[in-house]
A and B are shown apart, each in its own frame.
Chain A
Amino acid sequence: MTTYTTIAEDTRPLHHPKTWIGKYVWSQDHKVIAIQYSLTAVGVGLVALVLSGLMRMQLAFPGMLEFITPDAYYQFVTMHGMIMVIYLLTALLLGGFGNYMIPLMIGARDMVFPFVNMLSYWVYLLSVIVLMASFFVPGGPTGAGWTLYPPQAITEGTPGAGWGIIMMLTSLAIFIVAFTMGGLNYVTTVLQARTKGMTLMRMPCTIWGIFVATILGLLAFPALFVAAIMMTLDNTIGTSFFMPAIISNNVALDHSGGSPILFQHLFWFFGHPEVYIVALPAFGIVSDLIATHARKNIFGYRMMVWAIIIIGALSFIVWAHHMYVSGMNPYFGFFFATSTLIIAVPTAIKVYNWVLTLWRGDIHLRVPMLFAIGFIFTFIHGGLTGLFLGNVSVDVPLSDTYFVIGHFHMVMGVSPIMVVFGAIYHWYPKITGRMWDTMLGQAHFWITFLGVYAIYLPMHYLGFLGVPRRYYEMGETAFVPESVHLANVGITIAALTVGAAQLIFFYNLIYSYFKGRKADPNPWGATSLEWLTPDTPPAHGNWGPDLPKVYRWAYDYSVPGAAQDFIPQTTPPGPDETPHDH
């Protein structure tokens, strides 16, 4: 027998908290931390959602809501974008799903550094508090756009250029500290705490997505961190990292020699991988939703894993596709357009394999599967429009127009959120021990899915026309026909409907938590470890006295000759069975 020396072997009892506070507040249990992360992220996400509703009101009915001044509009845009990308999606997918799923799916009792994990949440909460506090500082939050480009971000012409930007940069720096603590945990746990038999190539795609995304985050966030510090220094003690000699408000500022483009490189060296920090966990999770509910192994598992790794690696050499018209050396365009379009190949393979998993499957159209299909549709759309913007000369007319707004909302707003919803419906029975209401789940899906398409499809066409983004109002512009104002009204109605439909979701979750039918421990007949815990919801320590032992990959669905249409990962191979393995 081989001897294992991993942390997973360590079966000493965990430290069990005795008090309510120890259990639910200063908790070191990855599941509680996951819930804390998720609730905080969703809470602050609701702020971002309300802000988007307000922006849409201004765009459809300019001037109707008097408190939406240009300053307020730009502050809303900025806070909306930053919250959605960082404080909602990154925190929810990694801090939330990562925390909950990693130990359960790899058969560990907890993260390897539970205390640091707890700290990660509290530091994250601090970053959220600092961010929210910026609504109340003199001058309000920064209105620099979520990209925070200097010199504008720290000069007087931009709302919140005093306190607001300082709060934003501080909050980001704190967030990155929190992320780093969490991220080191996730990576170490995946590498060190897998249970016996859980080889890397037996891990569910969910874990692969989260694992690679975390590595990307650990490599990318430092770029944002230094950019935030350098800009803060420019802003406070008068350095000139990003500040050339300029005038502001008719006065020459005391800066010279800095480069605004340097900031953009740092920002997008973080910002592009950030797209994949959000997308890869979603890719992984959706693969598992599709396989489970189609009762079929994920098509081309090896290819799927390698695609995640390759996309992750390539995502570090495409950043300047956000800067084709930034004034950087124009010859970079050739390189970055090529690298960007190369990424499309592994990405397309992922899409093919999702659809091919459905092909000849046994598809159960339960709510999680509906959202998975919604994801495939929206991701195909958003992925394809990305080819326009990546293809340098096609980007020229489209950059900074509503085409961009339509594209990135489809690809990194809507499609990951489809996965988030699908995943919540999928794992809710395990997390709470209750079932949600199917009718409400379906209503939530249909309104959200059709609604978002109604919001974003027209935006691409406004972009073709040339309508620029980050415009408080279009006013009278000769090339913009009257029909565009109608489109804006329609988009806003769709947006408000989608926003309101989320109440169905929250009602369903909250009502079911108290009144829902008791859930089966493995309601979908899934193979992966998280469904095989002795208790539902899983108890502290997850596995009772013995850790599970893994004998096969996570995708033995509909194996010919098997008694059921799934074989859990813990089932040893039968006498004359050779399990599919790599």
Chain B
Amino acid sequence: MRVAIVIVLLVIGSVAFHFLSPWWMTPIASNWTELDDALIITFWVCGAVFIALNLFLAYCVYKFSHREGSKATYEPENEALEGRLTFWTAIGIVIMLAPGLIAWNKYITVPDDAITVEAVGQQWQWSFRFPGEDGVLGAVATEHISPDNPFGLNPGDPWGADDILIDDGFGELHLPLDQPVKIVLRSNDVLHNFYVPQFRAKMDLVPGTFTYIWLTPTRTGEFEILCAEYCGRSHYNMRGLVVVDETPAFEEWLKEFPRFGQSDVAAAAGAP
């Protein structure tokens, strides 16, 4: 009896906790409502199963606890019942998986009209690079990294000259509102992860290769970047900030930053 009551109370308590606690998904600021929808479908399917299974558990514990003279029913198996349960479980799985896979397909498919920006991680700060008018990020390599060339741009690559470099130590990135953006991710040292809770999207930065996410900011405001892949002793301090602006304000902001072509390194290499 007592055990059954506690299980019921735990179920009620969990549901109450869900509705009463102040913690739920941080209000979204990007197009990734599909991710939230897939999550919510999963939540309700799983929540229903959680409630049903545990209430049945409580019922069994209450109803079939040993009493003087009680005896268990002998029933080695019940294939029909097991078959039905398997079938309905499979249906539940499909209901959750289908929206998940559809959202994933969208998540990894960058729309054609997306602008590009690169986010670079290096223990333990963020810097950013826009490709400039040509829309192409110049080639980079670790061997080119130096105090004068923190991005490691290849001075010989003409595509790099108009790249706009944002490396002011604050890790602040502005993005234009309602404009799809592909964020190319790159690390100079170890794994990091570009994570803005309000954007939902998230991806590791992997040294030696490039990764990406894409999203469309849907409201203006300031959103913190948190590193979400452990990257050493100051991982918890590897913060940055995304500021979503109306397009004119964004363009104003972008003007303040230098082009790679203006740097000493580029000049020394005689780049155009």
Contact = CB atoms under 8 A, between A and B. Distances in A.
Interface of A: 70-71, 74, 143-145, 147, 149, 151-152, 155, 157-159, 244-248, 250, 252, 256-261, 294-297, 299-303, 325-327, 330-331, 333-334, 337-338, 341-342, 344-345, 348-349, 351-353, 355-356, 358-365, 370, 373, 376-377, 380-381, 384-385, 387-388, 391-394, 396-401, 450, 453, 457-458, 461-462, 464-466, 468, 470-475, 477-479, 481, 483-484, 487, 555, 557-560, 565, 580
Contacts of A143: 233
B77 A299 contact: yes
B232 A363 contact: no
B60 A358 contact: yes
A271 to B, nearest CB: 15
B35 A294 contact: no
B57 A159 contact: no
B104 to A, nearest CB: 4
Nearest to B147: A250
Contacts of B205: 327
User: Can you list the 5 inter-chain pairs with the closest CB atoms, starting with the nearest?
Assistant: A244-B208, A466-B197, A157-B232, A152-B190, A393-B103
B26 A384 contact: no
Nearest to A75: B233
A399 B107 CA distance: 15
B50 to A, nearest CB: 6
B236 A362 contact: no
A401 to B, nearest CB: 8
B25 A355 contact: no
Contact of A297 (B74, B107, B234): B74
Contacts of B82: 300, 303, 349, 352-353
B21 A391 contact: no
A569 B21 CA distance: 52
Interface residues of B, number: 106
Contacts of B45: 387
Contacts of A362: 64, 66, 70-72
A462 B23 contact: yes
B23 A296 contact: no
A380 B50 contact: yes
Given A356-B78, A384-B46, A393-B100, 6 more contacts: A295-B72, A333-B104, A397-B35, A397-B36, A465-B26, A483-B22
A377 B208 contact: no
Contacts of A565: 71-72
B199 to A, nearest CB: 9
Contact of A302 (B77, B86, B185, B208): B77
B57 A376 contact: yes
Contacts of A70: 233-234, 236
A453 B104 CA distance: 32
Interface in B11-31: 14, 17-18, 21-26
Contact of A296 (B14, B72, B191): B72
Given A157-B189, A385-B46, A394-B42, A360 B75 contact: yes
B189 A248 contact: yes
A392 B208 contact: no
B71 A151 contact: no
B6 to A, nearest CB: 8
Nearest to A461: B23
A474 B79 CA distance: 52
Interface string B32-57: 10111011001101100110011011
Contacts of A465: 23-26, 197
A259 B61 CA distance: 52
Contacts of B42: 387-388, 391, 394
Contacts of B234: 70, 157
A377 B85 contact: no
Given A358-B57, A468-B228, A333 B208 contact: no
B115 interface: no
B64 A361 contact: yes
